[in-house]
Amino acid sequence: MFTSNPFAELSASVPPAVMQAYVAVMAFLVVAGTLYEIAHKMSATYFFNNWRLSKKKAKQQVGGGRMVAIAVQTAVVDIMTSGEFCNVRRRLAHLLGMYGFVIYVVTTAIMVFAYPTPATPTPAVLATLWYIAALMVCLGGYWFWFFIRVDVAAEGNSPFRFVRADVFIVTLVLSTTFGLIWAWLQTAGNTTWATVFLALYLIATTVLFGSIPWSKFSHMFFKPAAAFEKRMSEANGTRSNLPAPADAPKIFGSTLQQPQHY
C-alpha cells in the first residue's frame, strides 16, 4: 500500500484529465480566496502602512545586508522552525502539520500530473512520501485538536466543540484522514467503501480549499510577512504593534527575561 500511487489506480475509473482539472481548480481557489481575503480584510494595506510607519519612525537605518540577514532569520526561525510557539508540544504539532501538508500537496500534484496512470510507473519513494505526509498531518492535527487546544486543555471545553475558526484544521485533518482510508480501501479492492471515502475525501478537500475567505488557511501566507515586519521594527528601534507570544514570560511588555523580584 505505502508504495502505490492511489491516483494512478483511480485512473481506471476516473480519467487523469478530470483529476488534473480538479487539482487546478483547488489551486485557483487558493489564489482567489487569498486575494479576496486580502481585499476584504485589507491585510496587505495594513502591513504596508505599518511598514511605512515603522520606517518613518526608525531610530536607526537598516542596511541591505542586515535586511537580508533578518529575512534569513525570519525564514529559519519563524517559518521553518515555528519559533513563535514557546510551547514545545504546540510547536511540534504545528511543524508536523505544516511540513506534512506541504509534502502532501506537492506529492499529490506530482503524482496527479506526472504519474497519473499505471502506464507511467510512480517512484516508490514518491508514493511513500505521500502516505507519510498525510500521517504527519493527522498526527499533528489530532494531537492539537484533542490535547493542546487552549479551550480544551485549559478551559475544559469539549474537544468536539466547533467554531468557524476551526474550519481549516478540521477540514485539513478530515481530508488527509479520508484520503488515507480511501487509498487503503482501494488497494484492498473494496470498491464500494472506497467510493464512499473517495466522495468524503473530495468533499473535505473542496471545503478546505474553498473556505479560505472564512478560515485560517491564508494565515500561512500572512504570518511570514508579519514576522519579518516585527523583526525589522525591532532592528530599526521602533516598537512593533504585533503581540508577543502568549506563552512567553513578560515584564513591562518584554519577552526577553523572567519577571524580577526585589
Residue 61 lies in a domain: yes
Question: What is the per-residue pLDDT for 155?
Answer: 59
Give 251's DSSP letter: B
- Alpha-carbon dihedral sign for residues 4, 111, 22, 16: negative
Residue 16 lies in a domain: yes
The upper half-sphere exposure of residue 229, i.e. CA atoms within 13 Å in the direction of its Cβ, equals 20
Residue 256 lies in a domain: no
Give 241's DSSP letter: -
Question: What is the per-residue pLDDT for 36?
Answer: 83
Confidence of residue 231 (pLDDT cuts 50, 70, 90): confident
Confidence of residue 143 (pLDDT cuts 50, 70, 90): very high
Confidence of residue 42 (pLDDT cuts 50, 70, 90): low
pLDDT digits (tens, 9 = 90+) for 85-142: 777 888 899 899 999 999 999 999 999 999 999 999 999 999 999 999 999 999 999 9
Does 34 have pLDDT greater than 90?
A: no
Question: What is the per-residue pLDDT for 76?
Answer: 78
Per-residue pLDDT, averaged over 19-45, amounts to 85
User: Which residue range forms the structural domain that includes residue 84?
Assistant: 6-235
Question: What is the per-residue pLDDT for 164?
Answer: 73
Residue 20 lies in a domain: yes
Q: State how many domains the chain has.
A: 1
Determine contact, residues 137/97, Cβ cutoff 8 Å.
yes
Does 74 have pLDDT greater than 80?
A: no
Does 39 have pLDDT greater than 90?
A: no
Alpha-carbon span 107 to 150, nearest angstrom: 32
Alpha-carbon span 143 to 140, nearest angstrom: 5
- Backbone φ and ψ for 81, nearest 5 degrees, come out as -115, 5
The upper half-sphere exposure of residue 255, i.e. CA atoms within 13 Å in the direction of its Cβ, equals 12
Per-residue pLDDT, averaged over 23-51, amounts to 79
Question: What is the per-residue pLDDT for 135?
Answer: 97
Alpha-carbon span 216 to 38, nearest angstrom: 13
**Highest mean pLDDT pick, 74-83, 157-166, 176-185, 236-245:** 176-185
pLDDT digits (tens, 9 = 90+) for 233-258: 777 777 655 555 544 444 333 343 43
Q: What is the DSSP secondary-structure string of the chain?
A: -TTS-HHHHHTTTS-HHHHHHHHHHHHHHHHHHHHHHHHHHTHHHHHHHHHHHHHHT-SS---HHHHHHHHHHIIIIIIIS-TT--SHHHHHHHHHHHHHHHHHHHHHHHHHHHS-STTSPPPHHHHHHHHHHHHHHHHHHHHIIIII-HHHHTT---TT---GGGHHHHHHHHHHHHHHHHHHHHHHT-HHHHHHHHHHHHHHHHHHHHTGGGSSTTHHHHHHHHHHHHHHHHHTTPPP-SPPPTTS--BTTB-SSPPP--
Bigger pLDDT: 204 vs 40: 204
Question: Residues, the chain, total?
Answer: 262
Question: What is the per-residue pLDDT for 259?
Answer: 38
Alpha-carbon span 76 to 83, nearest angstrom: 9
Per-residue pLDDT, averaged over 210-221, amounts to 76
Residue 251 lies in a domain: no
CATH of the domain at 17: 1.20.950
For the entire predicted model, the pTM comes to 0.77
Question: What is the per-residue pLDDT for 175?
Answer: 97
Residue 259 lies in a domain: no
Amino acid at 231: R
- Backbone φ and ψ for 180, nearest 5 degrees, come out as -65, -45
Residue 255 lies in a domain: no
Residue 131 lies in a domain: yes
Confidence of residue 200 (pLDDT cuts 50, 70, 90): very high
Does 162 have pLDDT greater than 80?
A: no
